[in-house]
Amino acid sequence: MDLKPLENQNVFDLSSLNNLRQQAIGAKSGQESDEALKKAAQQFEAIFTQMLLKSMRQANEAFEDKDSPFNASGVKFFQEMHDQQIATELSSNGSLGLADLIVQQLSPNAKGYTPASVIRTDAELNTDKLLGKVAQLPKSEVQEVEKEVISSEESSLFDSPKAFVEQVWDYAKSAAQKIGLNPEVMVAQAALETGWGKHVIKKTDGSSSNNLFNIKSDNSWTGDKAKKQTLEFEQGLPVKKQAHFRAYESIKDSVDDFVDFLQQNPRYEKALEKTSDSSTFLDELQNAGYATDPNYAEKIKNVLERADFKSMLGSIVRRGVN
């Protein structure tokens, strides 16, 4: 019996599965039956792989430029065709090993089958290479999304990073003493959250929220609020969302509320126990869920290690700015 190789079949050949079923029924020998079963199993694996690729594409939709010509329906149609062909080729090459397991389970000539716990651990499916890194976005693309959420909803309160550090330092030093934290950590965190004070959330009336730590407003918050689009990380991928944030009368109120916020939330108890060690404090802050960015703590540590940041702090100390 002449069975058409799976890799030579058109991905839109809807009758192929039924033809394989008929071939399996009409097979005159065990060998022909096994061949038909193998092709059917490969078809099933191809369908499963296509569903996997489709899910990966959907996870990437948050980064799509709606006005881009590459986001047109025609482009998506051919992109889907491409993914279907990839799924077919992966199945024919045995990249996942799912077809082999199905054959071992269903073949009447098989004496046993491989358990799922050991299925094809020797095969590496390089989906990043095949899909142009759909699952893992380059840093440049993540930065583009970050730029997009930095919009007219934010205002700049400071002319330079130096001006930001000089104005925040005094308030941070006073507030940090309450929890035994190095004030440099608070300044570095505020710098990361606001881009050195250039991207502070605005209220609906256009005035600044003065929220240096991007603390969101929940049901317990009775003060003013500000709304903006934000970047959250879900399962390692950045997603754009609308969120409400606390708004303050002054920078000092924001810094003081940051400390109060940590002290009033039981989930930050471990972080507050480690304030004497800045690095551990930041790790515990992230572990407690302060931010969804998986690299949040490391980013603040990088700010602390920056030469220009240390130079600005040194200048403040030498001039007696306390």
Q: What is the mean pLDDT of residues 97-101?
A: 71
To the query of whether residue 148 is one of the catalytic residues in this protein, the response is no
Structural domain ending residue among the three candidates 111, 136, 161? 136
Structural domain ending residue among the three candidates 136, 168, 188? 136
pLDDT (0 to 100) of residue 117:
40
Instruction: Record the pTM.
Output: 0.52
**194: Cβ contacts below 8 Å, ≥ 6 apart:** 164, 200, 212, 214
Q: How many domains does the chain have?
A: 2
The C-alpha atoms of residue 18 and residue 9 are separated, in whole angstroms, by: 14
The C-alpha atoms of residue 322 and residue 320 are separated, in whole angstroms, by: 6
Please indicate, yes or no, if residue 109 is contained in any of the structural domains. yes
Please indicate, yes or no, if residue 1 is contained in any of the structural domains. no
Per-residue pLDDT at 109 exceeds 60: no
Q: What is the mean pLDDT of residues 247-263?
A: 96
pLDDT (0 to 100) of residue 142:
43
To the query of whether residue 232 is one of the catalytic residues in this protein, the response is yes
Task: Point out the catalytic residue in the list 232, 253, 256, 293.
Answer: 232
The C-alpha atoms of residue 42 and residue 235 are separated, in whole angstroms, by: 30
| Comparison of pLDDT for 31 and 271, the residue scoring more | 271
Q: Which CA distances in Å does 163 have to 12, 34, 191, 197, 208?
A: 62, 75, 11, 9, 17
Please indicate, yes or no, if residue 129 is contained in any of the structural domains. yes
Say yes or no: 104 and 210 in one domain. Answer: no
Please indicate, yes or no, if residue 13 is contained in any of the structural domains. yes
Task: Point out the catalytic residue in the list 184, 257, 283, 284.
Answer: 257
- Domain at 298, CATH number: 1.10.530.10
Say yes or no: 49 and 151 in one domain. Answer: no
Say yes or no: 118 and 165 in one domain. Answer: no
Per-residue pLDDT at 267 exceeds 80: yes
pLDDT (0 to 100) of residue 184:
96
Say yes or no: 291 and 308 in one domain. Answer: yes
Question: Which of 109-113, 124-128, 257-261, 305-309 has the least mean pLDDT?
Answer: 124-128
pLDDT confidence band for 317 (50 / 70 / 90) = confident
pLDDT (0 to 100) of residue 81:
76
The residue segments making up the domain with residue 212 are: 144-318
Say yes or no: 157 and 120 in one domain. Answer: no
Q: What is the mean pLDDT of residues 240-245?
A: 80
Tens digits of residue pLDDT in 151-192:
445 656 788 899 999 999 999 999 999 999 999 999 999 999
Say yes or no: 162 and 305 in one domain. Answer: yes
Per-residue pLDDT at 139 exceeds 50: no
Say yes or no: 177 and 282 in one domain. Answer: yes
pLDDT (0 to 100) of residue 88:
72
| DSSP-derived secondary structure letter, 216 | B
pLDDT confidence band for 29 (50 / 70 / 90) = low
pLDDT (0 to 100) of residue 100:
74
Structural domain ending residue among the three candidates 136, 169, 197? 136
